[in-house]
Structure 1
């Protein structure tokens, strides 16, 4: 059974002025996401800035999300690390506080081989009996899960159930779909490729766009899955300029600024991330106005 179908939000983490986590605002954002029709909550993924959080902060955000959601939708915890030992520790902590599943990015910086990727995910899957979504984003990690490796892992470990595909390589994703044989759910990891990946058998998206447009991102996916491809495509194209602007600088720089101008107290970013450049602010604001987000 799939963890979710539809649009899961890659949730940002709001900070106070002193860069501590703003749990009050996080609660408000979560409630607004649920009200907007978001199908799953992904916390401490890339958009949530976990790379600059301590173990304790990551655990506290996951635990807070689990308690706030209270089983209304799945809570998926980002527990990836460049050390397998650390990924296991974070995954165990996520299970302890009640996460429904974990999102495990490929080990960044190490640039391990396919054999190394296999052993990494094998170790996590063996240590923690939660459903696992593998996260393939080579542009950020320097490491690419090839289709053969992903399928092998899914066939051998029953709790490796899905992959977030953010390689941007539609040909590779087509190869993955062709050899899938129903063992692995495929989620788009790129908001500008939702419809193409759904057309290859994907069942949803883990989305940055959902932070600012949860209902339409949900509707985009579900319209496609329910056969209304015309509506789905119109929503994909409606938000294309917003999506481009949300990635004008490295995620989550633009989406945090977007959340702030929407009225959320998203706060700033922890170094080495810095504030969105003025030219990109204008680009994003115009795109959001044209899409009737603000």
Structure 2
């Protein structure tokens, strides 16, 4: 799965002012990311507000991204949940012909044991027509998939090829990197851990900020993969404030504010999420001005 090395971006789902999906704006965001040099695109993740999209909207989002991308970079699609059978049903009904892998989040809310998490992903991997990327994000799911469970899945289940690790704990990330199979990829799930994860032996990142500033973020990741740590940290430090600001009032309110200032989409989000406050928008605008020569 070398095609999943480098900078992946977790795409937003842009909305019009009436909160309907803006497929034209989605296409413009895809082009923005591709022109900025990202290595692959991720559809229907948490950042895409996928839980508030209808089944038909999800299908149209997948189709729009695939059509605009036109085979230029690999595509990944989010297919996860806390009802194992429902995820399997989706895997049997959606069209994955344009997608290289699925990204599947660890079950949330019902807080399964580590054995339950293992059996959940084992069943999904068996049903999936494409490779599976595990997604551990304890801050959202309410439970942490421990390194032992990740490594057990990596070693025992052939169709599981990577993890998007968003635990925020470099000790946990390094444990997985140290003990993983050689061809298993450890991908940072947080922008702020992207650089240390790569320098420790990780494969890259699935980024939120990277879709707003694809050239800058991709440069940092490329430098890290070349082990040019000093230069990579210069970029990291220049982007660090933005990494923090876009999550200050929840995701994707922050990154959608960036797209609003870039003229690519509105900043609308669907309830129960709400748009960023004017105060945060001004801070994000100031950050953008600091990273770009032209005035935003």
1:168-207 paired onto structure 2 within 5 Å: 168-207=168-207
- SS of 1:239's partner is helix
Give the TM-score taking structure 1 as reference length: 0.95
- Is the 8 Å Cα contact of residues 163 and 185 (structure 1) preserved in structure 2? yes
Partner residue, 1:17: 17
1:202-281 paired onto structure 2 within 5 Å: 202-281=202-281
Unpaired stretches in structure 1, ≥5 consecutive residues:
none
Larger deviation, residues 59-68 vs 76-85 = 59-68
Residues 97-126 of structure 1: per-residue CA shift (max 9 Å, x gap)? 532210001111111110110111011100
1:32-181 paired onto structure 2 within 5 Å: 32-181=32-181
Partner residue, 1:4: 4
- How far has the Cα of 1:2 moved from its partner? 2.6
Unpaired stretches in structure 2, ≥5 consecutive residues:
none
- SS of 1:202's partner is coil
Larger deviation, residues 258-267 vs 235-244 = 258-267
Number of residue pairs aligned between Structure 1 and Structure 2: 294
- Is the 8 Å Cα contact of residues 59 and 93 (structure 1) preserved in structure 2? no
| Rounded Cα–Cα distance in structure 1 between residues aligned with 2:260 and 2:92 | 33
- Is the 8 Å Cα contact of residues 257 and 284 (structure 2) preserved in structure 1? no
Give the TM-score taking structure 2 as reference length: 0.95
Residues 214-239 of structure 1: per-residue CA shift (max 9 Å, x gap)? 01111111111123222211111110
> Structure 1 residues 53, 82: closer, same or farther in 2, change over 3 A?
same
Which of structure 1's runs of 4+ aligned residues deviate more than 6 A?
none
Partner residue, 1:29: 29
- Is the 8 Å Cα contact of residues 62 and 94 (structure 1) preserved in structure 2? no
RMSD between aligned alpha carbons? 1.5
- SS of 2:2's partner is coil
